[in-house]
């Protein structure tokens, strides 16, 4: 796998039983890259390990005044230098590739899981934790995957060098061979405490991130009540706790680094003292002493990889565990049904909202945020408000867990596979997004095939949009379908974007279509035509529209009033205007005084009066 091949066509099915198993799964899926990195790492490490031999030969050649051996040693040093340069360059290239590709795989898995769960993700996992996993944790996981092959190369090189020294000069080689495992494993007793401190730091940093995001989201409200200083003080205290935890963690890692310097220093001093004694007694040559000393000195370089892999694992294991906590989430704990796309009435047991099959149902809510949450719930994704405090979000998550699932016919939406649920119910929110591309690409969406793009555009009253796009694309022979739309549709007005998004939803032709304020950005004349177009095109299909405009409500087969989270009235638009003051207050935008006046008992109308009002 190369960086140019990203993103993965399929990131795979991860092992989410535990953090270490997830790290193993990542490494196994990058076996080719790991082997490449291991090979170049061995070339680099063994070339470095060969330098002491050539240096020892050179020193002994000078002592024995042998020019031929000195020239041979010089040539070998040059050759080893070239191999070291090539090995180091390619090792860095392959290791960084492993890092980036592993991080990209994790990010794709997280993106896929986010798309699968939608807004339900925040019901189960805190927003700060999701942010931490998708940013810092991804980097730490990639670091471990990248460091693993370099560590293996260093470990193999250490074994080869120790065996070689024992064979080359047993009197000193045994000392080095015995000391190396001690040096490599000396920091293990310190790692659990260092890991705990690092976990404590990350936990405090996550809480500080959540507090900061909540403060920023509610900044407008905080300014209104003068609460900026209060929350600033809370964040300052949280930040100081993070700083103190980071210092405590850094002290432990500094101690580990000190141990990694102290013990090798003791080894080198002992080696020089013992080797000098042997050389003075004539039991070894000076060149042999230089060779062993140089080898022991250069072995400190691969020893650093032991410290690095320990740090990488200590940081990546909790990061992998957090990633597993997100990736192991499923849409439902219940077994998904294998049946096809269900049909029938769309019913929400939590509010009592019933959208009868084949009818155009309009829903009126006095609170726009409540309407948005209910629309998401009808699609199987209940959510919390962005402006809610953390306590309110937690409370709503608990309520959402206890709330029964929305039913389509007799089937709960969260019991359906994701693809089936999306085919059955499509939700278009009040701020739909248009991706960049041509209009033809925009409308090239999975659909039933029963509604053409032309029919959807006509129902959404996109004639003026098509005309504008045709004028903007002279290179395409005036074909609006081939005109490129800029990112998020910024080249279009708000009303044009809204109608194109509506056309896209209409072309999809789901079993049940949920629209949240589909005509809020258009004028009244266009709104009336759009309402009639949607009602005509969706005749015989279940459609739910959240709106408060009389022009749209008047074409609905049935209107439902939701007040304080429950259905309180249902009927036609005109019936509710006459009989339901709360409905009338929302639809006609009555003031409090007008609403109070309208609550005065009105004498019953005779037939002639009723007929006149209906004509009006």
Condensed to tens digits (0 to 9), the pLDDT of residues 216-240 reads: 665 555 565 665 677 777 778 888 8
| pLDDT for 201 | 80
- pLDDT at residue 376 is higher than 60: yes
Residue-wise pLDDT for 122-181, tens only, equals 666 666 667 667 777 888 888 888 888 889 998 898 888 888 888 888 888 888 888 888
| pLDDT for 222 | 55
Q: Of 217 and 12, which is predicted with more confidence? A: 12
- pLDDT at residue 593 is higher than 60: no
DSSP 46-71: HHHHHHHHHHHHHHHHHHTT-HHHHH
| pLDDT for 600 | 43
Query: pLDDT band at 474, cuts 50/70/90?
Result: low
| pLDDT for 346 | 92
| pLDDT for 513 | 94
If you average pLDDT over residues 33-58, what whole number do you get? Answer: 86
| pLDDT for 461 | 93
| pLDDT for 227 | 58
What percent of the residues of the chain are helix, what percent strand, and what percent coil, each to the nearest 5?
Answer: 70, 5, 25
**pLDDT cut 70: percent of the chain above it:** 83
Q: Of 132 and 496, which is predicted with more confidence? A: 496
Most confident of 108-122, 253-267, 379-393: 253-267
Interatomic CA distance for residues 13 and 109, integer angstroms: 9
If you average pLDDT over residues 15-40, what whole number do you get? Answer: 89
**pLDDT cut 90: percent of the chain above it:** 19
| pLDDT for 174 | 86
| pLDDT for 214 | 63
242 alpha carbon, distance to own chain's centre = 24
In this structure, are strands 411-412 and 407-408 parallel, antiparallel, or unpaired? antiparallel
Interatomic CA distance for residues 221 and 227, integer angstroms: 8
Pick the range with the lowest mean pLDDT from 31-40, 358-367, 427-436. Answer: 427-436
Q: Which two tokens stand for residue 159?
A: 């074994």
Interatomic CA distance for residues 243 and 231, integer angstroms: 18
Mean pLDDT across the chain, nearest whole number? 81
């Amino acid at each position: 796998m190369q960086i140019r091949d990203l993103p993965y066509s399929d990131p795979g099915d991860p092992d989410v039983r535990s953090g270490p198993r997830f790290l193993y799964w990542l490494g196994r899926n990058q076996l080719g890259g790991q082997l490449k990195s291991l090979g170049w790492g061995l070339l680099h490490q063994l070339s470095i390990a060969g330098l002491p031999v050539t240096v020892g030969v050179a020193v002994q050649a000078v002592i024995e005044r042998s020019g031929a051996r000195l020239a041979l040693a010089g040539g070998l040093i040059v050759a080893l230098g070239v191999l070291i340069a090539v090995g180091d360059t390619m090792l860095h290239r392959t290791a960084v590739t492993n890092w980036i590709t592993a991080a990209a795989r994790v990010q794709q898995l997280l993106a896929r899981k986010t798309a699968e769960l939608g807004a339900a993700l925040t019901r189960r996992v805190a927003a700060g934790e999701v942010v931490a996993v998708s940013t810092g944790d991804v980097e730490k996981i990639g670091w471990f995957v990248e460091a693993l092959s370099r560590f293996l190369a260093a470990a193999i090189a250490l074994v080869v060098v120790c065996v070689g020294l024992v064979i080359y000069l047993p009197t000193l080689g045994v000392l080095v061979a015995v000391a190396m495992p001690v040096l490599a494993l000396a920091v293990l007793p310190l790692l659990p405490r260092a890991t705990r401190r690092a976990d404590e730091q990350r936990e405090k940093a996550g809480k500080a991130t959540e507090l900061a995001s909540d403060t920023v989201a509610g900044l407008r409200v905080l300014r209104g009540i003068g609460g900026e200083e209060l929350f600033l003080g809370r964040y300052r205290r949280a930040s100081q706790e993070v700083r103190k935890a980071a210092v405590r963690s850094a002290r432990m890692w500094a101690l580990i680094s000190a141990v990694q310097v102290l013990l090798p220093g003791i080894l080198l001093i002992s080696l020089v003292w013992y080797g000098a004694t042997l050389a003075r007694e004539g039991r070894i040559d000076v060149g042999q002493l230089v060779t062993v000393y140089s080898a022991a000195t250069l072995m400190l370089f691969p020893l650093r990889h032991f410290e690095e892999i320990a740090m990488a694992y200590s940081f990546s294991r909790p990061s992998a565990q957090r990633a597993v906590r997100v990736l192991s989430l499923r849409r439902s704990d219940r077994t998904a049904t294998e049946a096809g796309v269900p049909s029938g009435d769309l019913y929400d047991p939590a509010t009592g909202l019933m959208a009868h099959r084949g009818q155009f149902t309009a829903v009126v809510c006095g609170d726009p945020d409540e309407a948005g949450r209910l629309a998401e719930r009808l699609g199987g994704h209940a959510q919390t408000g962005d402006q809610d405090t953390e306590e309110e979000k937690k409370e709503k998550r608990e309520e959402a867990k206890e709330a029964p699932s929305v039913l389509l016919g007799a089937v709960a939406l969260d019991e359906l596979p994701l693809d089936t649920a999306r085919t059955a119910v499509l939700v278009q929110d009040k701020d739909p997004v248009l991706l960049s591309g041509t209009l033809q690409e925009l409308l090239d969406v999975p659909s039933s095939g029963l509604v053409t793009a032309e029919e959807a555009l006509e129902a959404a009253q996109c004639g003026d949009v098509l005309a504008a796009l045709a004028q903007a694309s002279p290179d395409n022979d005036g074909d609006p379908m081939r005109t490129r739309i800029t990112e998020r549709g910024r080249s279009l007005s708000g009303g044009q974007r809204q109608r194109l998004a509506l056309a896209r939803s209409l072309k999809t032709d789901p079993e049940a279509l949920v629209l949240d304020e589909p005509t809020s950005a258009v004028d009244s004349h266009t709104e009336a035509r759009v309402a009639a177009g949607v009602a005509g095109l969706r005749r015989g299909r279940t459609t739910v529209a959240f709106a408060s405009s009389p022009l749209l409500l008047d074409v609905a087969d049935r209107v439902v009033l939701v007040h304080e989270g429950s259905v309180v009235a249902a009927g036609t638009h005109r019936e509710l205007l006459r009989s339901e003051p709360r409905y009338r207050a929302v639809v006609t935008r009555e003031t409090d005084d007008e609403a109070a006046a309208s609550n005065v008992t009105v004498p019953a109308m005779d037939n002639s009066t009723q007929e006149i009002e209906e004509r009006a």
